[in-house]
Structure 1
Amino acid sequence: MQSPALLFFRRLFRRKLVLLAAVILLALVLAALLAPWVTPFDPGAMKLVRRLKPPSELNWLGTDEYGRDVLSRIIFGARASLGIGAAVVVISMTIGTVVGLFAGFFRRLDAPVMRVVDATMALPDILLAIFLVAVLGASAWNVIFALSIVYTPRVVRVVRASTLVVRELPFVEAARAIGVSTRRILGVHVLLNVASPVLVQATFIFAYAVLAEAGLSFLGAGVPPETPTWGTMIASGQQYADDAFWVVLFPGVAIVLAALSLQILGDGLRDMLDPKLRKAV
């Protein structure tokens, strides 16, 4: 008899596209974690005599305007870009889940909380993030804080909508009838039943955060330029794109691969965890 975890992954990766997305994402994460040991060169080492060299056996993805190895900077950039995305997911999921649970379970909190959420979501994500980073200053932690504020309302809406359904189910009414504490009902009965949409939302927010961080860095409102990220690489290399396309192409490909693999993986999780879609998988 197969374990539930093994059965879940077999169903999830039955679609080859989802499996490919998971492999790409895993490769990017491993490259980010092992960056100091797998990069062929120091990402900050400048060699002006080799500036804007095309891809070759020595520099597989070419060099930038300062002679730095593009591949090494992309690998180290993955640490910052994916690290910021992961931190945004953890913070926004934690706060959004707690607030969404309370807003959906306690009727008195629903209206005021959702009015704040609606007001926040009425503003364009990237404009709100730029405003917050401009006020706080450009740094990795401020980017994480700004993007967490931007994406937490999305989580609140998802968790609140699921909680509104779960709280009316018979097993929750039965738990109330036998005197189970509200804390236990929220932490066990309700939270476990809203975990599936939250998990799916986490993959989407991860992708959004990676794209938003790249956009902020490209506009100069994100991580400082001395820190290699995919967005800062494109921003610094855009003026040389006509003669040295590789300085912007390969960081852009990394952004697309990360965001697309997360989106495809999220679609696969949604199809697996949604009973209405599971039969079609």
Structure 2
Amino acid sequence: MTTMASVSMPLVSGLRRLFGNRAVLLGTVILVVVILAALLAPWVAPYAPNKLSIVNKLKPPSMTNLFGTDEFGRDIFSRAIFAGRVSLLVSLGVVAISTVLGVILGVAAGFFRSLDAPISRLLDAMMSFPDILLAIALVAALGPSLSTVIIALGITYAPRLARIVRGSTLVLRELPYIEAAVAMGLPTWQILARHVLLNLASPILVQATFVFASAMLAEASLSFLGVGVSTDMPTWGTMLASGREYMNNAPWLMIFPGLAIVFSVLSLQLLGDGLRDFVDPRLAKES
């Protein structure tokens, strides 16, 4: 009991310090609302996302349709909630792929001196292209679909994580306990698993939140440009694209999907900034 209490006290105090930041608390609340709305979409949404009602097309927001209707009479509120599912699914997939690739490339470049130069040149070459252009090129090469968007964005954002991991690994590699482990003849995989990867968890977690936000915005951009997921699937980007023609007569077609993107990305940025300051308090003091 004493051991459990001693472990839980630092955890509680750490969470209290993290969520004592109002910006972090606000971002977390918004993100939880978005996630819950997406998970409970079939029960929260009053209508099916693709239910047509031509007689009710372009209706302004009302008690019947909270966010109004689009050019086909579909309920904007319902479509925005279901679109959140797609955005979260894509972002989670992108974070998973970019984290795996970034950790492998970053650790290999930072720990093995012979691999540093070629991997660093590869990362520099990938980061020399704007993210959205590289994503469009990959989607065009693989073919537009939900899975290819996830793969393309995962590859696009992997260099961001790889550079962070590489820099941290270069520092860790020179620490005395790492050198001692190498001198003792411990297997390389054991050194990487026990001493390197565990110490990389914090910077990876912080960077993953920023990648999550960037992936969400990139998915909306690809869908807006018509090179993202299938148009049969509601996304915030496709909703914005279809609402352009009616921007003057029915501005709600673009306002509400746009606000969904803004608040979702903002919540992740606030959470990421808070985690960064929590992991390294020196950054908070400098800012």
Q: TM-score, normalised by structure 2?
A: 0.95
1:119-166 residue CA offsets vs partner (Å, 9 max, x unmatched) = 011011111111111222211111111101110011111100000000
- What displacement does 1:178 show? 2.5
Aligned counterparts of 2:89 and 2:82: Cα–Cα separation in 1: 11
Aligned counterparts of 2:10 and 2:98: Cα–Cα separation in 1: 28
Aligned counterparts of 2:185 and 2:44: Cα–Cα separation in 1: 57
Matched, 1:35 2:35: no
Report which stretch shifted further, 72-81 or 180-189.
180-189
Residue matched to 2:113: 107
Structure 1 segments (4+ residues) deviating >4 Å: 278-281
- What displacement does 1:81 show? 0.8
Matched, 1:177 2:183: yes
- What displacement does 1:220 show? 0.3
1:165-221 residue CA offsets vs partner (Å, 9 max, x unmatched) = 001001111222223221111111011112111111100000100000000000001
Aligned counterparts of 1:235 and 1:6: Cα–Cα separation in 2: 45
- What displacement does 1:34 show? 1.2
Task: Show the 5 A alignment for 1:41-120.
Answer: 41-120=47-126
Task: Show the 5 A alignment for 1:187-266.
Answer: 187-266=193-272
Q: TM-score, normalised by structure 1?
A: 0.97
Output the aligned Cα RMSD: 1.4
Alignment size in residue pairs = 281
Q: Secondary structure at the match of 1:123?
A: coil
Aligned counterparts of 1:177 and 1:130: Cα–Cα separation in 2: 47
Residue matched to 1:121: 127
Q: Secondary structure at the match of 1:30?
A: helix
Gap runs ≥5 in structure 1: none
- What displacement does 1:277 show? 3.1
Gap runs ≥5 in structure 2: none
Residue matched to 1:12: 18
The answer (yes or no) to whether the contact 2:97–2:155 under 8 Å persists in 1 is: no
**2:276 alignment partner AA:** R
